[in-house]
Amino acid sequence: MSAYLQVDGLDKSFGGLHALQDCSFTIAQGRITCLVGPNGAGKTTIFNAITGFLRPDAGTVAFRGETLDGLSPQAIVRHGIARTFQNLRLFTDLSALDNVLAGMLGQPGEGPLGAIFRPMHTARAQREYVARALATLEHVGLAARAREKVRNLSYGEQKLLTVARVLATGAELLLLDEPASGMSAGALENIMALLRRLQGEGKTLLVVEHNTRVVQQIADDVLFLHQGHLMAQGTPRQIINDPALAEIYFGGAI
Amino acid sequence: MDFWLSYVTLAAIYVLLGLSTNLLVGIVGIFSVSQAAIFGVGAYIVAHFLMAADPISFLPALAIAAACCIALNVLVTLPSLRVSGDYFVVTSFGIQLLATAVFTNWTGGTGGANGLPGIPPPDLWHRPLEDAWQVMALCLAACVLGCVCFFLVMRAPYGRLLRAIREDELAVAAAGKNVLRAKVSAAALAGAFAGVAGGLYATFLSFIDPSSFDLDSSILLLTMVVVGGARTLVGSILGPFLLLALPQVLTMIDIPTTFAAAMRQLIYGVLLILFMLFRPQGLAGERL
């Protein structure tokens, strides 16, 4: 049986910078895998390569046995992989509800012809989608803020909203780029509980995370990336207790 | 009475142009300064078919003009898919200059700087609309139809998609949406509005020349969107009605006509600056 997500020999250079070097790993279905490593290790580059935002110089990515090479970002979302961004990239002028709706696929009236010539059909379908989007917001704990413009939400709420937006796509593999960074202690517990809940619902998560406490609490597997290469793979305990990795992670100063 | 008729007719035509500009600039964020060029192409095409040796009737001519303007607007908007924001303004500026050059110098097709006089009035199923009331009714009907389309688009998921694209194209792609298709179809819709407005304009005035479709006109359209308000239907209606009233108000003041034209440009400029500084959301819109 082939792996759920298989990343094989990815290479990517930006000028003289070797962002990814023969990077290979696999991810098992239904697990939370944390991607860790020092700044510049290539964590976000890996995300970009898997989700089609970046074309690698070499290597392949396969999802459930199907290759994703050369597919556009939107095609990859339709295959069932969706991602968040480290800098959120929410639609700040739109409401929280509209942000979630913007992530839902296959809505009638998403082109001009459907919008103009089938207004009743569009409106009827929209009521269903709105109900589903509200349920998604409820799920991440933002139901009360649904009609609020994103710019008026707190940073923690905005982070939850990015998760709601990837959930809206219906994807089963979620790539979350630092979902817990910059959050207060209370909000942190909140988002860790949410990630656990998503796992319970059958989602598979690949999470970039810096906070070792978070990694220890949520990760089933940890991938340690260094200079664009997979350096180690193991349980959180194995990775965190490895002195060689700690040396790389925290730098030679310690 | 005549004055009111022509004011309302012209305003109805400009509302269509306002919708076209608002859709592209306000909603999708494709900052086009060449919408008057598309408007002009619509006007010249309808004029051409109505004045041909073997003329066709108004509605088919209008349909041809709309189709051409859809294709043309998609074509001139394509650079916006590659160059973003500020750079596209420069590209669009070039397109506008190019169009003006063609309108002015292609004397065989457009009559050049002298323009095309004697364009017949619009007709419906071979019944010419000779009466100014009828022409006004036709333009108002087209305007209402345009407003309904705009309203439906804004209310539908399509409107949300376009607004999301203005904010963050990359995030829209990450949400699994086809940005290219949405932008191209918005450009097509804006082109159709401008083409229809052009056809109505040519037959209403019975005379067209390049001065109606130059850079000043494109900027007038942008001013209408800024003053009326970006991204709203009400804003797209208010802008044209207010700014077109201005020349009429100026004629009531006792100043020489040569002076009035310069005065009008001056006031448009001042309005644009004041609104940008003190009320960027316009009278009834959102921040551009």
Nearest Cα neighbor of A181 from A213, A221, A210 is A210
Span of B115-119, B126-130, B202-206 with lowest mean pLDDT: B126-130
- By CA distance, what is A129's nearest residue in B? B157
Query: Mutate which of A44, A88, A116 to disrupt the B interface (most B C-beta within 10 Å)?
Result: A116
Percentage with pLDDT > 90 across chain B: 67
Q: Which residues of A touch B177 (CB under 8 A)?
A: 74, 102, 105, 110
Nearest Cα neighbor of A194 from A207, A210, A235, A103 is A207
B 74-93 residues with CB below 8 A of A? none
> Taking 90 as the threshold, does the pLDDT of residue A194 lie above it?
yes
How many residues appear in chain A?
254
What pLDDT does residue B1 have?
Answer: 57
Q: Residues A230-254, buried b or exposed e (16+ Cβ, 10 A)?
A: bbbeeebeebbebeebeebbeeeee
A 1-60 residues with CB below 8 A of B? 51, 53
Helix (H) or strand (E) holding A222: strand A221-226
Nearest Cα neighbor of B149 from B159, B160, B139 is B159
Q: Flag whether residue A184 sits within 8 Å of chain B, measured between CB atoms.
A: no
Determine, for residues A103 and B155 on separate chains, whether the beta-carbon distance falls below 8 Å.
no
- By CA distance, what is A110's nearest residue in B? B158
Cα distance between residue A204 and residue A185, in whole Å: 25
Q: Flag whether residue A94 sits within 8 Å of chain B, measured between CB atoms.
A: yes
Q: Flag whether residue B127 sits within 8 Å of chain A, measured between CB atoms.
A: no
Q: How many Cβ atoms sit within 10 Å of the Cβ of residue B126?
A: 8
Q: Are B238 and B283 in contact (CB under 8 A)?
A: yes
Residues 6+ apart with CB under 8 A from A198: A163, A167, A174, A205
Q: Flag whether residue A102 sits within 8 Å of chain B, measured between CB atoms.
A: yes
Query: Is the pTM for the entire model greater than 0.95?
Result: no
Give the closest of A51, A107, A119 to B152, CB-based. Answer: A119
Cα distance between residue A44 and residue A21, in whole Å: 14
Mean pLDDT value across chain B: 91
CA distance B178 to chain A (A): 7
> Taking 50 as the threshold, does the pLDDT of residue B177 lie above it?
yes
Q: What is the pLDDT of residues B204-222, one digit of tens each?
A: 999 999 999 999 999 999 9
Q: Flag whether residue B151 sits within 8 Å of chain A, measured between CB atoms.
A: no
CA atoms within 13 A on the CB side of A165: 33
> Taking 90 as the threshold, does the pLDDT of residue A60 lie above it?
yes
Determine, for residues A169 and B175 on separate chains, whether the beta-carbon distance falls below 8 Å.
yes
> Taking 80 as the threshold, does the pLDDT of residue A2 lie above it?
no
> Taking 80 as the threshold, does the pLDDT of residue B284 lie above it?
yes
Q: Are B229 and B19 in contact (CB under 8 A)?
A: no
Query: Mutate which of B19, B167, B189, B232 to disrupt the A interface (most A C-beta within 10 Å)?
Result: B167
Residue in the structure block whose two tokens are 């006004």: B136
> Taking 90 as the threshold, does the pLDDT of residue B247 lie above it?
no
Q: Which residues of B touch A129 (CB under 8 A)?
A: 157
Cα distance between residue A168 and residue A102, in whole Å: 8
Q: Where are the domains of chain B?
A: 2-212
Residue A161 CA, chain-centre distance (Å), reads 12
- By CA distance, what is B189's nearest residue in A? A112
Q: What is the pLDDT of residues A91-125, one digit of tens each?
A: 999 999 999 999 999 999 999 999 999 999 999 99
Cα distance between residue B187 and residue B217, in whole Å: 19
Determine, for residues A169 and B185 on separate chains, whether the beta-carbon distance falls below 8 Å.
no
Determine, for residues A77 and B175 on separate chains, whether the beta-carbon distance falls below 8 Å.
yes
Determine, for residues A109 and B160 on separate chains, whether the beta-carbon distance falls below 8 Å.
no
Cα distance between residue B14 and residue B47, in whole Å: 18
Determine, for residues A112 and B158 on separate chains, whether the beta-carbon distance falls below 8 Å.
yes
Cα distance between residue B9 and residue B202, in whole Å: 12
Q: In a 10 Å sphere around its CB, with 0-12 CB exposed, 13-18 middle and 19+ buried, how is residue B120 labelled?
A: middle
Determine, for residues B171 and A78 on separate chains, whether the beta-carbon distance falls below 8 Å.
no
Q: Are B208 and B43 in contact (CB under 8 A)?
A: yes
What pLDDT does residue B254 have?
Answer: 77
> Taking 90 as the threshold, does the pLDDT of residue A155 lie above it?
yes
Q: Which residues of B touch A51 (CB under 8 A)?
A: 174
Q: How many Cβ atoms sit within 10 Å of the Cβ of residue A111?
A: 18
Cα distance between residue B124 and residue A28, in whole Å: 68
